[in-house]
Amino acid sequence: MEASLLISSKSLYCRPMVYENEEQDKQWRALIVKAQSGDSAAYRELLSALVPVIRRAVVKSLPSPDSADDVVQEVLLSVHKALHTYDSNRPFTPWLMAIVSFRKTDFLRQHYAARGNKQVSLESVDIPDYLNSSDSSMNCHDIENAINELPKKQRKVVELLKIKGFSTKEVSEQTGLSETAVKVTMHRALQKLKEKLA
């Protein structure tokens, strides 16, 4: 029992997600060791094998799939620059993933910093007129009708909490319910509204 706990805590510490394919890691390790000694064929094989892995690792967290190629390129360049820091006695994947994560964060930081330049003035934004649009007003009526169909207690809590914007404490004082009861009532009301509007 103790031994199994020890093993599980050790594997948790070692982040098992990076060891999902030990065979592959061994293969990459052999290739990078050859690359460190100047074998360009092994290096080409390694980099080509890494491209889909890096792309898969970064694509989900990037704002658009098109930017994945830029990050992949950055990571490849970084792998090249950091080639001498790889210790052949250690697994390869954590080393690679640390670089991938670093470059991805770098890219995202630059991307979101550049968003400041993409701001537009409020006048130039085309905001749809929800009040006069027939579709939108229909939706509003649906919501109003759904709220009106709620039991009196739930309707009052929804009105005070969500429409008039009172806090839970204030609603609790106005309705005489406890704060927990207000939250529970609100939760039930939202469930009912969800069912009705679905």
Partner 1 sequence: MNNDKIDKTIQDLCGELKPVCCVNPLWRALLWILMVVCYTSAVAMTIGLRENIAEAMNREDYIFELILAFSTGISASLMTFWLSIPDCDRYKRFLAVPLTLLAVQIIWMLDRLYFEGMGSIRENWLSHCWINTALHTTLPAIAVLILVRKGATVMPCALASYAVLAVSEFGWIGMRLVCPHDNVGEAYFLNFLPYVIIGIIAGFAAKKLFRW
Please report, as ranges, the residues that interact with partner 1 according to CB under 8 A. 15, 35-38, 40, 43-44, 47-48, 51, 55, 68-69, 72-73, 76-78, 80-88, 90, 94-95, 98-99, 101-102
Give CA–CA dist 101/124, Å, rounded. Answer: 37
CB of 119 to partner 1, least distance (A): 25
Considering beta carbons, is residue 85 or 148 the nearer one to partner 1? 85
HSE, side-chain direction, 13 A CA sphere, residue 4: 1
CB of 37 to partner 1, least distance (A): 5
- The residue among 103, 94, 70 whose CA lies nearest residue 15 is 94
CB of 131 to partner 1, least distance (A): 44
Give CA–CA dist 142/92, Å, rounded. Answer: 58
CB of 90 to partner 1, least distance (A): 6
Considering beta carbons, is residue 41 or 190 the nearer one to partner 1? 41
Considering beta carbons, is residue 102 or 162 the nearer one to partner 1? 102
- The residue among 48, 105, 99 whose CA lies nearest residue 78 is 99
CB of 57 to partner 1, least distance (A): 14
State the angle between helix axes of 68-81 and 92-114 in degrees (0 to 180), rounded to the nearest 10. 130
HSE, side-chain direction, 13 A CA sphere, residue 72: 17
CB of 32 to partner 1, least distance (A): 10
Give CA–CA dist 11/22, Å, rounded. Answer: 14
Considering beta carbons, is residue 99 or 147 the nearer one to partner 1? 99
Largest Cα–Cα distance in the chain? 78
| Residue given tokens 């599980």 in the structure block | 8
